[in-house]
């Protein structure tokens, strides 16, 4: 018999309720994975269910592997033989490999990679595109993927007439799908869509798989989309024993097709459903949970639940109000150093969470400045992002016209009609005549085969760089000069022109903006700031990367930087939730465009509940935009946190909100910190 004494009453009820539909609303840190694994073990050991009749589905291979290992630990590897613990796509492939011939494919089908998809879509776009307009193949694939996740076939795909990419996707989709079938190939989204089609339209196939599984469990149910919902509900219609585990309060992937309605409507969709709430939290302190509960309760459409803990209230949540984004980064890094000094805390205990990846720049710079190891999760290091490298290349050439690698990168960015053949001809002439490439641009009239039109474009580019160089060597702010240069180049317009996905374009524009902010921050640190000095600082960052310094940080003792979306499912003893301002969290898009901030509030909730022992929130009074300070508005989510759990720290002055803490008459936070560090 399996020992279930370690489970709390609600967990035990979820494990023992094996017959009929069951909804387990598992709050953050409530031990949901343990419930699923104990439930599987209970079925095998206590109820003597054959393992091959059990199906458990989750979203990632890592989660499926962890689940399998935990089940094996409980029941022994021998007793696990035949059980299916898989991702949705692994389950879909299992069905397709047996029955895809019913859909007119051969069993030895191929699965197209992203590169394969891009190549095929580009070929089809060339065939159907009668205009000279260029389309981003990846954005077309994204639109087709969205349709497939909603089980919308090509003949029912209705594009938004104001969205040019969707209009093109509507032309490409049927040809793309026909081509895949002709090549006996499917793409990643087809794995679920075709599986759902098989189960929906081929009764014998459906009957086989319904007979195969008597007990079905789904983890992270709040993240399922339409096709995954149909797949699960079709299989479960046979046995009726469907258990789904999830938390609507942590549904943060609506932008990629997840439908929170699947978990909200589960009790309506599956009659006779029992609902069990897991509200005891084993991760965070009482004050952290009070903040999380208070924030998320403002979402009106949700399953009511309230997290609690038996481990005590813990320290207050620090809300640090600083002057600007540079002081924000400095204060966070100083706090990390203080905690290290006080308790010898490993760097891996600290996580810095932010809403958008562009926010990482100031923290990356400050961590490097203090020689603190860090690892960036789910993103590219700031100075390695394409749009950043493009803009930095202009500054490199202006600081050093002999930097031919940077010069070649920008010669036709933004597009100015200087094609590859012209660049090759100029480069060849410079080599033959032993003339630097930059000088060759100014002498393009001497090069044979360059037309007058192209010559004028090359000379205009050369003159622009000379003029920019003269401006940068004059007096005045280098950040202001950089902003002026990027505006004259029209880099922002170029990004919006060449990237059809406006959300992706906006992120890239924000990163260009951060280059200017980085220059402005450098000027504040270095009184006699020069462009050459700034470029030396950037080059030193590259030197760290090429020397392999970053490699030792991965998987070892390093501070973690990540977006809130990437942080779901993780936890850290010490969490910094930064940028608590309107237009950041909640994001300005949700305020001005989407007319809903429910998912943004869930993101905030996820961020708060990543913290185990200490949570520090930060907000700025001003934040740089293109190097200029702009006044900021506090995040509306801060007003939703009980004042009693907050310890407000502003510009070195502690404003205690707790009467008990007020009596301590604590000295200024930063003054105390610096004193302790000598």
Known binder of ligand: residue 34? no
Check pLDDT > 50 for residue 663.
no
Please tell me whether residues 399 and 456 are part of one structural domain.
yes
- Closest by alpha carbon to 93, among 82, 81, 105? 105
Question: Distance between CA 45 and CA 39 in Å, rounded?
Answer: 10
Confirm if 478 and 472 have CB atoms less than 8 A apart: yes
State residue 540's pLDDT score: 58
pLDDT at 605: 97
Q: Which of 491, 522, 547 is the last residue of a domain?
A: 547
Residue 198 pLDDT grade (very low, low, confident, very high; cuts 50, 70, 90): very high
Q: Is pLDDT above 60 for 665? A: no
27 belongs to an annotated ligand binding site: yes
Render 585-612 in DSSP notation, one character per residue.
TTBHHHHHTSS--HHHHHHHHHHHTTEE
C-alpha to C-alpha distance for 287 and 23, rounded to whole angstroms: 28
Q: Is residue 436 part of a domain?
A: no
Give pLDDT, residue 660: 46
What average pLDDT does the structure give for the chain?
Answer: 87
Residue 97 annotated as binding site: no
Sign of the dihedral defined by the CA atoms of residues 140, 141, 146, 151, in that order: positive
Q: Is residue 19 part of a domain?
A: yes
Could you give the number of structural domains in the chain? 4
Which one has a higher pLDDT value, 359 or 537? 359
In three-state form (DSSP H/G/I as H, E/B as E, the rest C), the secondary structure along 24-86 is EEECCCCCHHHHHHHHHHHHHHHCCCCHHHEEEEECCHHHHHHHHHHHHHHHCHHHHCCCEEE
Q: What is the CB neighbour count within 10 angstroms for residue 137?
A: 20
Percent of the chain clearing pLDDT 90 (strictly above): 50
pLDDT score recorded for residue 132: 66
Query: What's residue 511's pLDDT?
Result: 86
30 assigned to a ligand binding site: yes
Residue 368: pLDDT band (50, 70, 90) is confident
Same domain, 70 and 201: yes
Residue numbers annotated as active site: 32-33, 219-220, 250, 610
Cα→Cα distances 427→313, 401, 436, 458, 509, Å: 68, 15, 9, 13, 31
CATH (domain of 590) = 3.40.50.300
This prediction's pTM: 0.74
Taking residues 530-544, report their average pLDDT.
Answer: 70
Select the more confidently predicted residue: 467 or 546: 467
32 labeled binding residue: yes
Sign of CA dihedral 86, 87, 93, 98: positive
Give 35's contacts (C-beta < 8 A, 6+ positions apart): 7, 11, 14, 15, 24, 26, 245, 278
CATH number, domain of 135, equals: 1.10.10.160
Residues 410, 534 share a domain: yes
Do 203 and 222 lie in one domain? The reply is: yes
Q: Looking at residue 629, what is its pLDDT?
A: 84
Tell me if residue 253 falls in helix, strand or coil.
Answer: coil
Supply the range of the domain harboring residue 133. 110-183
Degrees to nearest 5, angle at CA 403 with 399 and 409: 105
Same structural domain, 519 and 403: yes
379 or 608, which is more confident? 608
**Residue 635 confidence (pLDDT):** 96
Q: Are residues 462 and 314 in the same domain?
A: no
């Amino acid at each position: 018999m399996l020992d279930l004494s370690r489970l709390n009453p609600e967990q035990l009820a979820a494990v023992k309720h094996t017959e009929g539909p069951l909804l387990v609303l598992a709050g953050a840190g409530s031990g949901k994975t343990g419930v699923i694994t104990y439930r599987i073990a209970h079925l095998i050991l206590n109820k003597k269910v054959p393992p091959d009749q059990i199906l458990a589905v989750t979203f990632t291979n890592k989660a499926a592997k962890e689940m399998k290992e935990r089940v094996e630990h409980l029941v022994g590897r021998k007793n696990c033989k035949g059980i299916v613990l898989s991702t949705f796509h692994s389950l879909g492939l299992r069905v397709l490999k047996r029955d895809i011939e019913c859909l007119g494919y051969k069993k030895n089908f191929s699965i197209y990679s992203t590169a394969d998809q891009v190549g095929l879509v580009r070929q089809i776009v060339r065939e159907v595109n009668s205009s000279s307009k260029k389309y981003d193949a990846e954005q077309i694939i994204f639109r087709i993927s969205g349709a497939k996740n909603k089980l919308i076939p090509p003949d029912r795909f209705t594009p938004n007439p104001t969205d040019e990419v969707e209009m093109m996707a509507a032309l490409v989709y049927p040809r793309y799908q026909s081509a895949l079938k002709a090549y006996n190939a499917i793409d990643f989204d087809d794995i679920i869509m075709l599986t759902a089609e098989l189960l929906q339209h081929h009764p014998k196939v459906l009957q086989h798989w319904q007979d195969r599984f008597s007990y079905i469990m789904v983890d992270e149910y709040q993240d399922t989309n339409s096709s995954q919902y149909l797949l699960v509900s079709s299989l479960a219609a046979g046995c009726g024993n469907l258990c789904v585990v999830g938390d609507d309060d942590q549904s943060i992937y609506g932008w990629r097709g997840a439908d929170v309605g699947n978990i909200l409507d589960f009790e309506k969709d599956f009659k006779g459903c029992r609902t069990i709430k897991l509200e005891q939290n084993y991760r965070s302190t009482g004050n952290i949970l009070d903040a999380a509960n208070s924030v998320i309760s403002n979402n009106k459409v949700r399953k009511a639940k309230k997290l609690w803990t038996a481990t005590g209230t813990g320290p207050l949540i620090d809300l640090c109000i600083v002057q600007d984004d540079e002081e924000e980064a400095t204060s966070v890094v100083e706090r990390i150093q203080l905690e290290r000094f006080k308790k010898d805390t490993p760097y891996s205990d600290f996580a810095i969470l932010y809403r958008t990846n562009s926010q990482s720049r100031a923290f990356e710079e400050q961590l490097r400045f203090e020689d603190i190891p860090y690892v960036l999760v789910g993103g590219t290091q700031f100075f390695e992002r394409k749009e950043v490298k493009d803009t930095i290349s202009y500054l490199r050439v202006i600081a050093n016209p002999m930097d031919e690698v940077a010069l070649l990168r920008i010669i036709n960015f933004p597009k100015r009609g200087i094609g590859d053949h012209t660049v090759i001809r100029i480069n060849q002439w410079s080599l033959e005549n032993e003339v630097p490439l930059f000088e060759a641009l100014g002498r393009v009239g001497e090069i044979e085969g360059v037309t007058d039109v192209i010559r004028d474009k090359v000379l205009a580019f050369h003159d622009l760089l000379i003029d920019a160089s003269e401006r940068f060597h004059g007096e005045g702010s280098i950040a202001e000069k950089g902003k002026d240069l990027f505006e004259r180049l029209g880099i922002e317009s170029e990004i919006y022109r060449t990237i059809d996905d406006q959300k992706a374009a906006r992120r890239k524009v924000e990163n260009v903006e951060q280059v200017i902010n980085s220059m402005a921050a450098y000027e504040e640190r270095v009184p006699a700031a020069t462009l050459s000095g700034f470029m030396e600082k950037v080059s030193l960052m590259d030197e760290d990367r090429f020397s392999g310094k970053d490699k030792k940080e991965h998987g070892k003792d390093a501070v973690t930087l990540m977006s809130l979306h990437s942080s779901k499912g993780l936890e850290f003893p010490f969490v910094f939730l930064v940028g608590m301002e309107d237009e950041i969290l909640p994001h300005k898009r949700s305020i001005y465009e989407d007319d809903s901030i429910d998912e943004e509030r869930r993101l905030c909730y996820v961020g708060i509940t990543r913290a185990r022992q200490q949570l520090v929130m930060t907000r700025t009074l001003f934040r740089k935009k293109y190097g200029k300070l702009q006044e900021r508005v506090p995040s509306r989510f801060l007003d939703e946190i009980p004042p009693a759990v907050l310890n407000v720290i502003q510009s070195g002055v502690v404003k205690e909100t707790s009467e008990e803490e007020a009596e301590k008459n604590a000295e200024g936070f930063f003054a105390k910190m610096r004193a302790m560090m000598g």
